[in-house]
Amino acid sequence: MSQNKIIIKGAREHNLKGIDLEILRNELVVITGLSGSGKSSLAFDTIYAEGQRRYVESLSSYARQFLEQMSKPKVDYIEGLSPAISIEQRKASSNPRSTVATRTEIYDYLRLIFAHIGEPHCYNCGRKIQSQTIENMSNQIMQFRKDSLIQIMSPLVRGRKGEYRDLLEEIKREGYLRVRIDGRIRLLEEEVFLDKNKKHTIEIVVDRLEVKKGIETRLTDSLETASNRSDGLVLVTQKLAEKEKEHIFSRHFACSHCGISYQEISPRMFSFNSPYGACPVCNGLGTQQSIDPDLVVPDRARSLNEGAVVPWNVGVGFHRWARTAAGYYSRRLASVAEHYDFSLDEPFESLSEKAQRIILYGSDSEKIKFTEQRGGEFYEYWTTFEGVIPNLERRYKDSDSNYVQEEISKYIRETPCPGCSGARLRKESLAVTLKGMSIYEIVKLSIKENNTFFSNLKLSSRQQLIAGEILKEIKKRLGFMVSVGLDYLTLDRRVGTLSGGEAERIRLATQIGSGLVGVIYILDEPTIGLHQRDNKRLLDTLKGLRDMGNTIIVVEHDRSTIEAADHIIDLGPGAGEHGGEVVVSGSLQDVIDCEASLTGKYLKNELKISIPTIRRQPRDNQYLEIIGAEEHNLKKINVKFPLGTFICITGVSGSGKSTLVEETLYRALARHFYKSRMKPGKYEKMEGIHFIDKVIVIDQSPIGRTPRSNPATYTGLFTPIRQLFSQIEEARMRGYQLGRFSFNVKRGRCQRCRGEGMIKIEMQFLPDVYVPCDVCKGKRYSKETLQIKYKGKNIADVLDLTVEEALKFFRNIPQVRRKLETLNDVGLGYVHLGQPATTLSGGEAQRVKLSRELSKLGTGKTLYILDEPTTGLHFADIDKLLSVLNRLVDKENTILVIEHNPDVIKVADYIIDLGPEGGEEGGELVACGPPEEIVRNKRSYTGEILKKF
C-alpha cells in the first residue's frame, strides 16, 4: 500500500469517465474546472465517500447503525486513503440555540473559566458575594492595620418594622451587654423603646478587640459565636482615624446585604441549555414570539376605515365567517372611536398616542358602550375593549384551528425576551463577572474584540494556575477564527444566520483546533464570501493545516488559491457529458503550459474577462436612494443606486453589504411592492422608488426541496412539453390530457414507486440502498403513458435529455426552444431537464432562477438583486454569466450584485464600497463610483485589489 500518495483508478461516479489519478499526500491540492465538469464527483462523491465508508466499515455493526453511511462509489481501485473530513459550503443549522460560541466550543471554555475564577455579585445590589470559613474570616481580619479597634457583631434584624422587646430581652438574658440599633450603640441595661411603625436594624456586639498578635483564638471564638447567632452572617467594624469601616462576612453563598442566597457557581450555571442557567422566561432562547404592532398596522398613513388594522380588516378566522368577523370588528372600532372621540377616517399615524394605544392594547378597566344586532333587534351593553393585539394573542393560544393559527402567525415576530433582554441566562448567572464583564457581555463582543480582551487578560498567580489551560484553549480558537477571516462575527451570532461560506470557515476553524494529523480534508470553495484582502490569511491557515501532516483537497475557482496550490487537477474539457476527464494534473506551470486547459489560458491571460470601454450612466439620470441606513453596524449612511446600470456592492466580510442590500433595501421594496411582512432594517427614507416597478432576488437557495422538482418544472418548460405530448394523435385517441404526463398525478405515474423512479430499501447497520423501481425501471411513468412518443422519444426520454440535446430536439417548437436557450445561455447546457433539484449546487440553482427571469417579458424597470452569483463558477462560466446579466441591463433593468470576485467588480458600471473594516469598524460608505474612481481611493481595500486587474 502506498504511504505517500493517493492512487485512484477507474473513477466513474456521475460524469467521470473512468479517470486515473495520483495525488501526493500532505499537499494542498486544488481541483478546478468548468461548472459541471466533475469536480464534486471526484472530491466528495469519490475520495470523501470512500474514505468515510472505509472508516465506518471498520467499526462494529452496532456502532454503524448510528452513523450516516455512504454507498461505495463507482471506482475500480483507491489506495492510500486515510479518514476523510468533508467541510462543505452549505447553510448551517437553524437551531436557535446554536451560536458561533457554541459551535466553536469557545462557550464551553467560557463557562469553565467563569465557574472557576468568575467573581459573583448580588444581582440586586451589585455587591461582591462569596462564602467564607471562620478561618478565612479570621485571616482577613488579622490583615487589618495593627492596633486598629474592631467590633464583631451578629446581625439579627435588617430593615424590618417592629418593637422587638422580646428579642432584646432574649439578648440580654444571653449575657450580651451591647447592641447596635439603627447604627447607634446601645447598652442593654438601659430601657430601649423602638417605634413599631419604622424599620429597624439590630446587631449584637459580640466582642471588641484590638488587632494584634495573640488574639487569634479569641477572635475565632467570637466569629463562631456571631455567625451561629445570625445564620452564618458576621459584621465587623474597623475604627479608622476619621471614620468607621464595615466588613461583612458570610459562611453561606449569599448576599450579606440583601439576604439573597445563591447556588454554588458551576459551569451549568452559565449554560442556556440547562435549567440551572437558562432564563426561566424564555428557557434560554433569548427571544419570544409576540404580535408586532408594525405588522398589525403596516401602513400608518391609512385610516381605520381604509383597513389600517390589517388582521381585523381581512378577518382572521374560519373561511365561512371571515367577512362576518371583519364586519364585527369594524363595528367595535366604531364604538371605540365614538367613546374616545376620534375619526375612523383619520390616518392612523395622526391619531393621538392614547387612541393608538387603546386600539392596539385595549381600554384596560375602562368600559365602553357597544351596540350589536341579533335577530333583527339592536341592543346595547357596556364592557372593556380587548384591543387588537391581546385579541390576536388570545385567539392564537385558544384556537384549535390550524387556519386561524397560521393566519395570526403572520403578525408574530421574534422579540428580545423581557426577562433577560436577550441574554438567555438567569440574572444570578449574569451577575458573575470576569474583569467586570458578564459572560453575555463577552459573547456580544466580536471575535476580534474578544481576541484582544483575552490576550490582554491579566490573572493572579492563583487564577493562572486554575484557568491557564482554559485560557490557552480560548485564545487558540479565537486565533483560528481570525485566521480564516471571521474576526468581525460576534460570538452570540446565531449559526443559522451565517452564510454558507461563513459556516464553512467556522467548521474549518473548529477542525484546525482539533489538531488532527494524517487526515484528508476536503473543502468546497472556502474563499466564498471572503474579500480578496483576506484570502492570504485563509491560504496561510490551509498551509498550516497541511504542514501539520494533513492532505488538503480544495474544490476552488479563485485565482489566488489555484496559484498557491502544490498540485492542481483541472477537469474538463467541457461540462456534463462533455466533461469528466483529467485535462491536466500537475504544478501551476504544468497547467499554464497545457494548451488543452481552459483554466491555464485564463491563468496566463491568454483568455480574460474584458473590461467595458464605456461605463453605463443612470437611465434618464434616475437614482434609487436610501437615506440614513443604520441597521446593525451601518453608520446612518446615504447610498445612491444608479438605475439602468450594473451595480456591484463590495467591501470586506462583515462591512454591512448584506445588511444594506438584503435586510434594508430589499425588505423595504418588498414591503412597498408586495406588502411583505418582513421588517426592513432602520433607515430614514427612500427616494426614487417610483422609477422601478418590481424587485427580484435571485439567490442560491434550492429551487425545490424534493426530487420531484427539477429545472423543467421550475422554469415552466415542462408545461409546453406536456401540452405537446397531449396533442399527439395517439394521446388524443386515448383521451390523455395534460395531467397524464406529470409524474405527480396518479393517472400517468408509476403506482409502484409513486413517480419517484427509485425504491428505498432500509438496511439498518448498512447504508440504505436505493434501487430502480422494478415496474417502471426508473422511468417514473406507467407503461401506458410511456407508449406515447414524440419523434421516437417518450416523456421519460425527454426528461433525460440535457439542455443542449433538448435544444436540438425541440428546435422547431418556439415556446420550448426559447426557455431552453436561456438555460443554455446561463451555462447550464449540461444539466438534464429532469435532474432532481436536490442534486443541483447553489450556483446551478441560482442560474436556473436567472434563466427563468430571462425568459420573461420584462418592463425594463426591474431591480434584480444577486448575492455572490459567481459561487461555483469557473472563469469561462463567469464570462458567460456576465453577458447574460448585461443583457438584462441592456433592456434598461438594474442589476445589483454583492460580490468579491475582481472579474465581476472590474466590469461593473458603478461600485458601492462599504467598510473600511468588518463589524463595528465597518458600516461606512468608503467609496462609490465607476471602478476607475474606486482605484484612486486610498481608503478602499477593493480599490487596491482592482489595481492588479
Q: Does residue 847 share a domain with residue 835?
A: no
Run of H or E residues at 898: strand 894-898
- What's the one-letter identity of residue 60? S
Q: Does residue 823 share a domain with residue 877?
A: no
| All cell numbers assigned to 114 | 467563569
Q: Which residue has the cell 481595500?
A: 941
Which of 805, 839, 873 terminates a domain? The answer is 839
| All cell numbers assigned to 258 | 440583601
CA distance 310 to 307: 6
Confidence of residue 762 (pLDDT cuts 50, 70, 90): low
Specify the pLDDT at position 764: 56
For the ranges 232-241, 489-498, 872-881, 928-937, the maximum mean pLDDT occurs at: 928-937
Q: Answer whether 776's CB lies under 8 Å from 753's CB.
A: yes
Confidence of residue 72 (pLDDT cuts 50, 70, 90): confident
Question: How far out from the chain centre does Cα 288 lie?
Answer: 17
CA distance 515 to 732: 68
The pLDDT of residue 332 is above 60: yes
Q: Does residue 146 share a domain with residue 248?
A: yes
If you ran DSSP here, which 8-state letter would residue 837 be given? G
Residues facing 924 on adjacent strands: 915
Q: How many structural domains are present in the chain? A: 6
Specify the pLDDT at position 93: 64
Mean pLDDT over 594-610 rounds to 94
CA distance 700 to 291: 31
What does the pLDDT look like over 698-743, one tens digit per residue? 877 778 777 788 999 999 999 999 999 999 999 999 999 988 998 8
Q: What percent of the chain has pLDDT over 70?
A: 96
Q: Whole-structure pTM over 0.85, yes or no?
A: no
88 falls within a domain: yes
Specify the pLDDT at position 158: 83
What does the pLDDT look like over 521-575, one tens digit per residue? 999 988 888 888 888 888 998 998 999 999 999 999 999 999 999 999 999 998 8
Run of H or E residues at 912: strand 910-915
Specify the pLDDT at position 298: 84
Q: Does residue 796 share a domain with residue 738?
A: yes
The pLDDT of residue 324 is above 70: no
Confidence of residue 319 (pLDDT cuts 50, 70, 90): very low
Specify the pLDDT at position 307: 85
CA distance 806 to 793: 11
| All cell numbers assigned to 625 | 436612494
Residues facing 261 on adjacent strands: 254
Which of 577, 603, 629 terminates a domain? The answer is 603
The pLDDT of residue 372 is above 70: yes
Q: 3-state DSSP call for residue 891?
A: coil
Q: Rounding to the nearest 10 degrees, give the CA dihedral for residues 28, 32, 37, 39.
A: 30
Sheet architecture: strand order including 77-79: 19-24, 5-11, 77-79
- 340: how many CB neighbours lie within 10 A of its CB? 17
Q: Does residue 426 share a domain with residue 287?
A: yes
If you ran DSSP here, which 8-state letter would residue 566 be given? S
Q: 3-state DSSP call for residue 635?
A: coil
Specify the pLDDT at position 472: 93
Q: Does residue 219 share a domain with residue 179?
A: yes
Q: Which of 57-71, 177-191, 818-832 is least confident?
A: 57-71
Question: In whole numbers, what is the pLDDT of the chain averaged over residues?
Answer: 89
Alpha helix positions (H), 580-728: 588-593, 598-603, 657-658, 667-674, 711-714, 718-726
261 falls within a domain: no
CA distance 434 to 466: 14
Which of 205, 229, 252 terminates a domain? The answer is 252
* Rg over CA atoms, the chain: 36
Q: Does residue 834 share a domain with residue 720?
A: yes
Residues facing 205 on adjacent strands: 153
Q: Which of 2-11, 355-364, 446-455 is least confident?
A: 2-11
The pLDDT of residue 847 is above 90: no
Q: Answer whether 106's CB lies under 8 Å from 478's CB.
A: yes
Q: Residue 745 is part of a domain; what is its CATH number?
A: 1.20.1580.10
Per-position DSSP letters for 106-164, written without gaps between them:
HHHHHHHHHHHH-EEB-TTT--B-----HHHHHHHHTTSPTT-EEEEEEEEEEEEES--
Mean pLDDT over 287-300 rounds to 88
Q: Answer whether 823's CB lies under 8 Å from 851's CB.
A: yes
Does the bond joining 573 to the residue before it have cis omega, within 30 degrees of 0? yes
CA distance 941 to 484: 18
Q: Residue 889 is part of a domain; what is its CATH number?
A: 3.40.50.300
260 falls within a domain: no
In the 3-class helix/strand/coil scheme, how is 260-276 assigned residue by residue? CECCCCCHHHHCCCCCC
Q: 3-state DSSP call for residue 216?
A: helix
CA distance 600 to 584: 9
383 falls within a domain: no
Specify the pLDDT at position 796: 92
Q: Does residue 851 share a domain with residue 825?
A: no
CA distance 688 to 699: 24
Mean pLDDT over 937-947 rounds to 93
Specify the pLDDT at position 310: 87
Q: Does residue 832 share a domain with residue 718?
A: yes
- 647: how many CB neighbours lie within 10 A of its CB? 26
CA distance 903 to 910: 14
Q: Does residue 280 share a domain with residue 246?
A: no
Pairing mode of beta strands 178-181, 119-120: unpaired
Q: Does residue 832 share a domain with residue 775?
A: yes
31 falls within a domain: yes
Mean pLDDT over 346-350 rounds to 92
Confidence of residue 281 (pLDDT cuts 50, 70, 90): very high
The pLDDT of residue 792 is above 90: yes
The pLDDT of residue 422 is above 90: yes
Pairing mode of beta strands 199-210, 149-161: antiparallel
Specify the pLDDT at position 856: 79
CA distances from 831 to 781, 820, 857, 923 (A): 21, 11, 24, 40
537 falls within a domain: yes
Specify the pLDDT at position 316: 42
Specify the pLDDT at position 502: 83
Mean pLDDT over 192-217 rounds to 91
Confidence of residue 343 (pLDDT cuts 50, 70, 90): very high
Closest CA to 918 of 502, 558, 423: 502
Confidence of residue 320 (pLDDT cuts 50, 70, 90): very low
Specify the pLDDT at position 92: 59
Specify the pLDDT at position 323: 47
Mean pLDDT over 859-884 rounds to 89
382: which residues sit within 8 A by CB, 6+ positions away?
367, 368, 369, 370
The pLDDT of residue 774 is above 60: yes
257 falls within a domain: no
Specify the pLDDT at position 901: 94
What does the pLDDT look like over 657-676, one tens digit per residue? 999 999 999 999 998 998 78
What does the pLDDT look like over 59-69, one tens digit per residue? 887 777 777 67
374 falls within a domain: no
Q: Which domain holds residue 334?
A: 308-368+393-411
CA distance 666 to 674: 11
The pLDDT of residue 109 is above 60: yes
Q: Does residue 165 share a domain with residue 148?
A: yes
Specify the pLDDT at position 322: 45
Confidence of residue 765 (pLDDT cuts 50, 70, 90): low
- What's the one-letter identity of residue 70? M
C-alpha neighbours within 13 Å on the C-beta side of residue 654: 19
Run of H or E residues at 310: helix 310-314
